[in-house]
Structures are given as C-alpha cells and as structure tokens.
Amino acid sequence: MEPAAPTPVVKKPLPDGKSEIPLSTFTYMFNEIVRYYQNQAQDTSDIEGGLHRIGRSMGVRLLELYSLRDGKGQRRVPTPVGMLQFIQTTVWKALFGRPIGGLEKSNQSDSCEYFMFEREPVTNRFASVPRSLGQLNCASLLAGVINGVLDAAGLPSEVAACWNANQTQTVYVVKFLAGAAAAAAAAAQQQAEGTGDGAAA
C-alpha cells in the first residue's frame, strides 16, 4: 500500500497560535537571528531594519496563504481600518493565539496614522538584548509582519515598533501612505462594478 499523499499546505487550517512551534524553539531561532544582525550592524536601527525586512516577507506570504485557504480574499475590499482589524484579530490569533491589545487612530483629523498596542510581544519576552542595546525593540519583526500584510493587500504603509515612555509596552505606529486611500477606493469601485455586472447578468 502506498503511503497517503501529504495534505497541501493551502488546505490545512490556519494555526491557532498555541501548538505549532514550541516557544523554546522559536526563542532559540529568534535569538540567533538577532545575534546575526547584531554582529553585522553598526547600530540599533540596523538590527531593527533587518528584523523588519524578515517580518515584511512573512506578512506578504501570510496574507497570500490566508487568501488561498479562505477563498474569499479577492471579494474583500481592503480598507485601512478593516485591514488593521483583520491583523489585530485574525492574523495575531493565528500566529500567537491572542489579538493585539488595542487599536487607535491618531487624534489629528487629517492623519492617516494609527497605533496598535501590545504589552508583551513574544519577540521581546525572552530576547537576549545586551545592555548596550537597551533601546532595541525586537518587535520590529512584528512591525514588518504588519507592513507586509498591508502592502500585500494593496495598502502602502510604513510601520515601526516603538516603546512607550517607560518601555513596558510596544506601540506599532502604522502610517498609511498617499496611495492607500486611492487603492481602497479603486478596489471598492471595482467590486461595485463586478457586483453590478453580476446582477445584470
């Protein structure tokens, strides 16, 4: 009897963030990545930049995989707030088993800037950071994930992981670029036209 063919990855359910990879394994691998960039970097921003690039690649692939599994990605209209809520809940629960703590919009009326708050990102919980790099925020990897998901959804953005005043909480600062609103409007119009064509048919 021939062994059963493995299930394609796109047909597997999304992980619940609790049992895919042991935390000790993730911690070891992540600390090795940080150490690699630490040996290559001139300063903290170089390390954070390297982590951000890895995270962005993860975010792009994650949205592609989710869209394939879900089968509805092409029917959704990506809006800035809608995608942030999708990341806050669906993406973070799939990765870490819990949502991001909070989501707020900048109080400036004309601002396209949002803040997402996380008290103890998994990247920071057991990261080995030398005292000389005390301002390093290893959640830059997760800022890259957010950036990658948004960019893959057609919403160009800039995302940074910052500390709050006493370094007890990470703030993901999300700034949508000029093309984000136009991309969302174009997607909405395209969906409306498709719906109209379907109704006419």
Domain membership of residue 185 (yes or no) is yes
Domain membership of residue 199 (yes or no) is no
Is the Cα dihedral 157, 161, 163, 169 positive or negative? positive
What local confidence, expressed as pLDDT, does residue 53 receive? 96
Tokens linked to 55: 């995270």
Residue the block writes with tokens 């719906």:
195
Full residue range of the structural domain in which residue 105 is found: 15-189
What local confidence, expressed as pLDDT, does residue 192 receive? 63
Global pTM reads 0.80
Q: Where are the beta strands (DSSP E) in the chain?
A: 102-105, 113-118, 157-163, 170-176
The H helix count followed by the E strand count for the chain is 7, 4
The total number of structural domains in the chain stands at 1
| Residues 6 or more apart in contact with residue 36 via CB below 8 angstroms | 50
Long-range pairs for 72-78 at CB < 8 Å and ≥24 separation? Answer: 75/191, 77/184, 77/187, 77/188, 77/191, 78/153, 78/154, 78/155, 78/183, 78/184, 78/187
Domain membership of residue 152 (yes or no) is yes
Domain membership of residue 10 (yes or no) is no
Kindly report the CATH number assigned to the domain that includes residue 184: 3.30.1380.20
Domain membership of residue 165 (yes or no) is yes
* Spatial contact of 51 and 138, defined as CB atoms under 8 Å apart: yes
Domain membership of residue 103 (yes or no) is yes
Domain membership of residue 51 (yes or no) is yes
Q: Show pLDDT as tens, one digit a residue, over the chain (201 residues).
A: 455 555 554 455 555 545 567 778 888 898 899 889 988 888 889 999 999 999 999 999 999 888 776 665 444 557 888 999 999 998 998 888 889 988 999 887 667 899 999 988 989 887 777 777 778 899 999 999 999 999 999 899 999 999 988 878 999 999 998 877 666 666 656 656 655 555 444
Task: Say which amino acid occupies 122.
Answer: V
Q: Give SS3 for 47.
A: helix
Domain membership of residue 201 (yes or no) is no
CA distance 40 to 34: 10
